[in-house]
Amino acid sequence: MLTKEKVLSTISKLPESFSLDDLVERMIILEKIEKGRKDSDEGNVISEKELEEKMEEWLK
């Protein structure tokens, strides 16, 4: 989950003028990074070998 502090920090790094699309894109990226970190902390990951096997299946 995003925190106000992280959102404000991200906004402060944007240029003085930016589009709503730029802001939304950054917030989505920030949220995905946070979700990935949470998944990693909780052990919701797969090994590189498992990833390679899944990718082989997808590419058939």
- Assess whether pLDDT exceeds 80 at residue 1: no
Domain boundaries, given as residue ranges, for the chain: 4-58
The pLDDT of residue 38 is 94
What does the pLDDT look like over 49-60, one tens digit per residue?
Answer: 999 999 999 998
Structure tokens at 52: 């390679």
∠21-26-27 over CA atoms, to 5°?
100
What does the pLDDT look like over 17-48, one tens digit per residue?
Answer: 999 999 999 999 999 999 999 999 999 999 99
The pLDDT of residue 60 is 87
Q: Which alpha helices (DSSP H) does the chain contain, by range? A: 4-12, 20-41, 48-58
Are the CB atoms for 60 and 48 separated by under 8 Å? no
∠46-47-50 over CA atoms, to 5°?
85
